Structure 1
């Protein structure tokens, strides 16, 4: 598995540069985990006790990016890219008939939108109010790093089960 698209975050950058670089590193890690796989492999539920798939994780990343940066940070009214199923489950995880190219294009666009939204905020300490609670850009970036890191752990296990590839 290559890591040519990932860059290591600076060990001496200021807070904002560190947080955004670590988030981009986590985004690139998810892309790396999916690299070189077929659509069928990306849709495979590779761990018998789990319904997770790599494509489902990418589609979930679209929803998370849009939710935190467009809904919370920008206060936009948005709807889910992949609506919930009739029984209330998150639609992004249902990938049997999903379009792989659409999912990756939506994810790349969502990441770009998120970067632009964060860049428009003057300070990491600037807050927005969401559901009666103040949230800073610092919190949102930190939460997004945590979100990707957790799901990249899932992606690592899925990738290893699919084709034996391992790596950070």
Structure 2
């Protein structure tokens, strides 16, 4: 019987020069692919395993969380679109992305993440970086969202690196 493992990720180098939008998109894409790189080659059970008690943080939980974060910031908030469905969390279960991984379908969850990335990019493709929206009485720009997302991935990719090292000793950038 073949055991499913997370597919390899193709990470392109981040840009060193260029226009602002391309720089932001390039760094965001690099961070997105870094998360997938941390998952590559692991089984569903490994992706669902919490590495250090009492934390329940898992690589699959991080993937599910970032799927929701992509949708929330780019599609819902910046672009003002309303998705047809919830992903993993709800008002009744606000941490479902992190908490409900024990029986989660890792293959489907990684596919959902991979599908959300072009959907997020498409949602804001026609908006300028200076596009603004209001969230909790604050005016935010799309530029801010890109910077925030790069920071969010960088933080969680640090978690992912530690999780991966604990699972099988693999480290890297």
TM > 0.5 fold call: yes
Q: Is 2:136 aligned against 1:125?
A: no
- Which structure 1 segments of 5+ residues have no match? none
Q: Is 2:111 aligned against 1:111?
A: no
Q: How far apart, CA to CA, are the structure 1 residues paired with 2:89 and 2:73?
A: 17
Query: Alignment partner of 1:134: what SS?
Result: strand
Number of residue pairs aligned between Structure 1 and Structure 2: 164
Point out which structure has higher relative CO (alpha carbons under 8 A, 6+ apart): 1
Query: Residues 33 and 155 of structure 1 are in contact (CA less than 8 Å); yes or no, is this contact kept in structure 2?
Result: yes
Does the C-alpha gap of structure 1 residues 26 and 124 become closer, same or farther in structure 2, counting only changes over 3 Å?
Answer: same
The alpha-carbon deviation at position 128 of structure 1 amounts to 2.1
Cα root mean square deviation, aligned? 1.7
Which of 50, 53, 56 is matched with 2:58 structurally?
Answer: 53
The alpha-carbon deviation at position 118 of structure 1 amounts to 2.4
With structure 1 as the length reference, what TM-score do the two structures score?
A: 0.90
Q: After TM superposition, which residue ranges in structure 1, 4 or more long, deviate above 4 angstroms?
A: none
With structure 2 as the length reference, what TM-score do the two structures score?
A: 0.88
Does the C-alpha gap of structure 1 residues 4 and 72 become closer, same or farther in structure 2, counting only changes over 3 Å?
Answer: closer
